[in-house]
């Protein structure tokens, strides 16, 4: 090994150790963490030392993810959670506090997108019931979840709320106007909530993913759609959940303590502003 290689290894090793423990002692709640990208968020936060609450409508999936994390030596629990139900979210927050003593991080990830069927139809063909369901989960769910954890974060005078929007809200995307509208609402929600909670030392930021291959076993049509996203971005490859977790971990950590009300677009250079 050359002297330059030895020096590089000496530099990299402490950095890796620092990152792996930068969320030690923190408690994170990730909604919709039983599947796809939410599962990836929870896994990364746990890997960086956080105790994680898997808040998931699909109880079995949530328990499976929590068990996997515990088997890896991480600290995690699963709480069956419906983000459209205030009582369910109150139970989510209470379970986190009763088990871990605090709430430091909330990732508002739960949304109607891949695990719950969504129409990809012209705007005037979408059923009113589906529009209302989309808004109830994707927008009201983020509001209610934030409202559920805010009292504890205010008491602590600290906290990180990380909302998940979408690159489609910045570019527009035909044939799913209800989804795009819901994700555009999250942009304004993030900025307004950051204004309201900043006085309590609580940061509120947003991540806007691009077209991401979040499905575990995608069919040929889905795989083709995800791969096609590479054609529209500067980095010519399919986006994976692993491409998003670093941004969420950054916003969850003390590295972002003086950043709030911001949206970080993680799409390989599809949308640039």
* Rounded CA separation 88/95 (Å): 10
41, 100, 179, 189: the catalytic one is 179
Question: Using CA atoms, how far apart are residues 204 and 42, in angstroms rounded to an integer?
Answer: 18
Strand pairing partners for 79? 55
Is residue 209 a contact partner of residue 183, using CB atoms and an 8 Å limit? Answer: no
Buried b (16+ CB within 10 A) or exposed e, 158-179: bbbbbbbbbbbbbeebeebbbb
Q: With b meaning 16 or more CB within 10 Å and e meaning fewer, what string describes 198-208?
A: eeeebbbbbbb
- Alpha-carbon Rg of the chain, whole angstroms? 19
CA-to-CA distance for 194 and 197, rounded, in angstroms? 5
Would you list the DSSP string of 88-131? HHHHHHHHHHHHHS---EEEE---SSSSS------GGGS-HHHH
**C-alpha count within 13 angstroms, C-beta hemisphere, residue 156:** 18
Looking up tokens 């039983």 gives: 34
CA angle 24/26/32 to nearest 5° reads: 120
Q: Are 81 and 72 in contact (CB under 8 A)?
A: no
Q: Has 179 been annotated as catalytic?
A: yes
**Active site amino acids:** 179
């Amino acid at each position: 090994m050359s002297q330059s290689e030895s020096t590089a290894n000496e530099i990299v090793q402490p950095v890796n150790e620092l990152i792996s423990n930068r969320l030690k002692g923190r408690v994170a709640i990730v909604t919709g963490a039983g599947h796809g990208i939410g599962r990836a968020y929870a896994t990364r936060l746990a890997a960086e030392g956080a105790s994680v609450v898997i808040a998931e409508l699909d109880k079995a999936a949530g328990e499976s993810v929590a068990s996997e994390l515990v088997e890896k030596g991480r600290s995690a629990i699963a709480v069956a959670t419906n983000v459209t139900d205030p009582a369910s979210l109150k139970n989510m927050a209470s379970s986190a506090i009763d088990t871990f003593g605090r709430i430091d991080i909330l990732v508002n990830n739960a949304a109607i997108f891949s695990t719950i069927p969504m129409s990809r139809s012209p705007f005037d063909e979408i059923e009113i019931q589906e529009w209302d369901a989309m808004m109830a989960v994707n927008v009201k769910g983020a509001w209610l979840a934030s409202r559920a954890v805010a009292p504890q974060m205010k008491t602590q005078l600290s906290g990180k709320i990380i909302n998940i929007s979408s690159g489609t809200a910045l570019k527009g995307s035909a044939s799913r106007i209800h989804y795009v509208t819901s994700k555009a609402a999250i942009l304004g929600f993030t900025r307004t909530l950051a204004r309201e909670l900043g006085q309590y030392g609580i940061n509120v930021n947003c991540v806007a993913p691009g077209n991401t291959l979040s499905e575990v076993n995608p069919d040929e049509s889905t795989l083709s759609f995800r791969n096609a996203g590479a054609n529209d971005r500067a980095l010519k490859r399919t986006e994976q959940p692993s491409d998003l977790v670093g941004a969420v971990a950054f916003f969850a950590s003390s590295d972002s303590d003086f950043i709030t009300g911001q949206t970080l677009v993680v799409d390989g250079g599809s949308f640039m502003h």
